[in-house]
Structure 1
């Protein structure tokens, strides 16, 4: 199965972003290079539909080994959309929002309160995150998905 032009362009953007983030220096960044950080995904917007998390990750990086990503989102109610967090296994599945073999790391209720914490434990390997809600539309529209490649201090 081949890539569409849009998927190919997304691939180029993602590879370029990974290279830029992986080689970036922490100058002007809030990360302390000596300790791990707790980072709220989406900052004050949290993990919600309609926010561009890929853009957020690019602006917020670099991310370091043992940093903790905190996913905060409201538990499902009649007035809110549910969310979850999956870790996809590779770039192709991330681009296509293909959740085959993806690992659910947080269900629809775990983002409440203080949120769900995920520690970045694989240095120099991309971690691909996405939401599967509404048959993957939260991922497919390109917003509720992002990846980070933690670097060593």
Structure 2
């Protein structure tokens, strides 16, 4: 089994586990790491005061670049909640950097195959510079992101792609 097949299998398995978990039980799980983002293991990294409308930089201090494991980053920094904001930061193209972009895929199959015909450009090569661009997770549905530059070569390598499935934020009370 090749590396790409293993990644595909792992992503599918994670998605299946997330789908099968009752969101109320997942959200009610004990919060153990405060508001720090980036710990080991599957998240629960937010206190009850930080469960709503959090702004999260994709990749943390690594930002959006080739060679970083964004699936692992998403897994370690979850769960994500409805109305959280993802910030994509990347260098604009120059003589020393390769261009990057952000595409949102319509379904899991097109995401796994990096089929850019089944995706929407949400951040072009210039939008990631400076403060980056923001993407709000408005709905409780899977969001499948990948870099689509150079025909999707970074996506096809399995590195510049990840998905999140925001949960309903628990009520504060």
TM-score, with length taken from structure 2: 0.77
User: Larger % of helix: which?
Assistant: 2
Question: Residues 64 and 143 of structure 1: is their aligned pair in 2 closer, same or farther, counting only changes over 3 Å?
Answer: same
Residue 112 (structure 1) aligns with: 129
Residue 13 (structure 2) aligns with: 12
C-alpha deviation, 1:141, in angstroms: 1.1
Q: Confirm or deny that 1:149 pairs with 2:153.
A: no
Question: Residues 8 and 79 of structure 1: is their aligned pair in 2 closer, same or farther, counting only changes over 3 Å?
Answer: same
- Correspondence 1:2-151 to 2 at 5 A: 6=6, 7-8=8-9, 10-16=11-17, 23=26, 25=29, 27-29=31-33, 30=35, 31=46, 32-33=50-51, 35-123=52-140, 125-151=141-167
TM-score, with length taken from structure 1: 0.87
Higher relative contact order (CA 8 A, sep 6+): 1
**Unaligned stretches of 5+ in structure 1?**
none
How many positions carry a matched residue from both structures? 148
Superposition CA RMSD, Å: 2.2
Q: Which has the larger radius of gyration?
A: 2
Q: Is contact 1:47–1:72 with CA below 8 Å preserved after alignment?
A: yes
